[in-house]
Amino acid sequence: MLLKFLSRENPILYKMNLTCDIFLVGFESIACCADSNYTDPKTTLTYTTDHIWFSDKRSCRQIPEILFSHRSNRNYRIFEIDEGKRCYNLPTIKDQVYLIRGTFPFDSLNSSFYVSIGVTELGELRSSRLEDLEIEGVFRATKDYIDFCLLKEDVNPFISQIELRPLSEEYLHGFATSVLKLISRNNLGDTNDDIRYVILLYF
Residue 176 banded pLDDT, cuts 50, 70, 90: low
Chain Cα centroid distance, residue 69 = 16
Residue 55 banded pLDDT, cuts 50, 70, 90: very high
Please, what is the end-to-end C-alpha distance for the chain in angstroms?
11
Contact between 111 and 82 under an 8 Å Cβ cutoff? The reply is no
Backbone φ, ψ for residue 150 (5° rounding)? -115, 125
Q: How high is the mean pLDDT of the chain? A: 77
* Structural domains in the chain plus CATH codes: 2-200 (2.60.120.430)
Confidence at residue 54, expressed as pLDDT on a 0 to 100 scale: 96
Q: How many CB atoms lie within 10 A of CB 107?
A: 20
Across 159-169, average pLDDT: 92
Confidence at residue 63, expressed as pLDDT on a 0 to 100 scale: 82
Chain Cα centroid distance, residue 42 = 19
Confidence at residue 134, expressed as pLDDT on a 0 to 100 scale: 87
Contact between 3 and 180 under an 8 Å Cβ cutoff? The reply is no
Q: Is 118's pLDDT higher than 60? A: yes
- The structure's pTM equals 0.77
